[in-house]
Amino acid sequence: MTMVNEMVQQRDEAARELPPLPTWESTPEDLKAATRTIKSALRRRIEASGRTVEQVFAVMDERVTQRVEEIEAALRNGENAWPVVEYADIESGRVSAADLALLQRRGCLVVRGHFPREQALGWDRDIVDYVDRNAFFETYQGPADDFFGSVGSKPEIYPIYWSHAQMEARQHDRMARVQSFLNAQWRSSSEGVQWFDPDRDSLYPDRIRRRPPGADSGGLGTHLDPGTLDLWMTQAYQKAFRHLFDGSVEQYDPWDAAYRTAGPQYPGTTMCSAFRTFQGWTALSDMDHDQGVLHTVPIPEAMGYLMLRPLLADVPDDDMCGVTTNQTFPASEKWHSLLLRASAGIPDVKAGDSVWWHCDMIHSVAPVTDQKGWGNVIYIPAAPWCPRNEEYSASVREAFATGSSPSDFPAEDYEREWAGRFTADELNVVGRRGLGLD
Ligand SMILES: [Fe+2]
């Protein structure tokens, strides 16, 4: 037995006797008290494993620093940090081993030619027809949440879910194929459990963004979306992140789906009820890389750093580096300056390309003034079938049937009486399976 294996085995044995963690399966009433309690319990657990919090954090710090420096070097050389793959290579199973390795390393991807450009531009026109025909701009009440800004009285984010364009893209064979490809980057089975079905998506309905030429936008700050305090406080997430807290930090794997697909989440205006392997969108216009586009910190294991950072001594005991419920998880210069050095924007994309990033990754949208061209996307993630997504699909079916806003979003319900909504008889096999109808 090698030294490393021996060490791992010893730690595994020790893990069985580590002090258990307190859990809160719904939002704690006193967030600060719960934060103090969980932080001291996590520290005790790490220390009982035979390592200090500082030692465990140092392992993650070193791992992430290597990646940050690698990305900084790439950016300095004028390279783009985002892997790019042709849709045709995904379809024919010919994505190279080097590209697959880079996808694992960076956790993000641009799929070129995911849809023919003309089809994407046609979908964009269909959306314009759909909202015009139903007098959307005349009836628009303003943003129902303050998560995204708007330009004057015209929204950038359309709280529209059930257009033909969106549903055709969601249930398209090409979408299903890319989602399967992305899901396969994760370990969906482990410990004798299949945590999700990589070949069946759960059709997560989200909104549309159409940002017009000439727009000024403040962008969207660096944040991440997988959860908030629940990431430290619920039993399922404590198990998902178990290696960070039981002395086996070297085994932490951001692609392991274990315990991530069934547990509860704390409710909030920014929550996503679904488990997403990747967040994503499909471009319905050409967009240049300097026109207020998406950036990520393309380091999937940075999540381990984000989870451990609040346990260091310089963070107040009742503070999780600014994470609290009902707001997105912030990534800040104050606590995460190392990570933010690696922020990398997408390359130029064309209508019909799609863009994907690991669900745990830090992302932001750059500001822009006097935007050149349109910035139009439909948000379609990879949300594979699993207990959590099956549960949410019941409310999706209901929203689809009535043309309502899905329950993860403000109840604006613009489309209920709209003409030209996508209907149940237009669902294909992918769409029916995605909604849990077959
Ligand atoms: Fe986000």
Residue 422's contacts (CB-CB under 8 Å, 6 or more residues apart) are: 162, 163, 164, 166, 167, 168
Distance CA(292)–CA(217), nearest Å, equals: 8
User: How far does residue 119's CA lie from ligand 1's centre (Å)?
Assistant: 26
Q: 289 CA distance to ligand 1 centroid (A)?
A: 18
pLDDT of residue 337: 98
411 Cα–ligand 1 center, Å: 20
Report the pLDDT averaged over residues 58-81. Answer: 97
pLDDT grade, residue 2 (50/70/90)? very low
Q: How far apart are CA 280 and CA 208, in angstroms?
A: 12
CA of 363 to the centre of ligand 1 (A): 6
CA of 9 to the centre of ligand 1 (A): 38
Q: What is the mean pLDDT of residues 156-177?
A: 97
Say what the pLDDT of residue 151 is: 45
Please report the DSSP string for 77-140 in residue order: TT--SS-EEEHHHHHTT---HHHHHHHHHH-EEEEETSS-HHHHHHHHHHHHHHHHHTTHHHH-
pLDDT (mean) for 335-364:
98
Cα 424 to ligand 1 centre (Å): 30
C-alpha 45 to ligand 1 mean position (Å):
31
- Whole-number Å distance, alpha carbon 378 to ligand 1 midpoint, is 14
Grouping H, G, I as helix, E, B as strand and the rest as coil, residue 287 is strand
pLDDT tier for residue 147 given thresholds of 50, 70 and 90: low
Q: By the 8 A CB rule, do 180 and 351 touch?
A: no
What does the block give as tokens for 226?
Answer: 């997988």
Confidence (pLDDT) at 7:
53
Q: How far is the CA of 152 from the centre of ligand 1 (A)?
A: 23
What's the pLDDT score for residue 133?
97
Rounded to an integer, the average pLDDT of 131-151 is: 78
Q: How far is the CA of 210 from the centre of ligand 1 (A)?
A: 17
Question: What confidence tier does 268 reach under pLDDT thresholds 50, 70, 90?
Answer: confident
CA of 417 to the centre of ligand 1 (A): 30
Q: What is the mean pLDDT of residues 235-240?
A: 97
The mean pLDDT value for 376-402 works out to 98
Mean pLDDT of 72-79: 96
Ligand 1 centroid to Cα of residue 19, in Å, is 34
What's the pLDDT band for 146 if we cut at 50, 70, 90?
Answer: low
pLDDT band at 1 (very low <50, low <70, confident <90, very high): very low
The pTM assigned to this predicted structure is 0.94
Share of the chain above pLDDT 70, in %: 94
Q: Which amino acid is at 2?
A: T
pLDDT for 8? 52
Report the separation in Å between the CA atom of 279 and the middle of ligand 1, taken as the mean of its atom positions. Answer: 8
Q: What is the pLDDT of residue 154?
A: 75
Whole-number Å distance, alpha carbon 320 to ligand 1 midpoint, is: 19
pLDDT in tens, 12-48: 555 568 999 999 999 999 999 999 999 999 999 999 9
Q: Show the DSSP H helices in 348-435 as ranges.
A: 387-402, 429-434
- Ligand 1 centroid–CA 294 distance in Å is 10
* Ligand 1 centroid from CA 298, angstroms: 14
> What pLDDT does 150 receive?
46
Range 340-355 average pLDDT: 98
What distance in angstroms lies between residue 209's CA and the mean position of ligand 1's atoms? 13
CA 364–ligand 1 middle distance (angstroms): 7
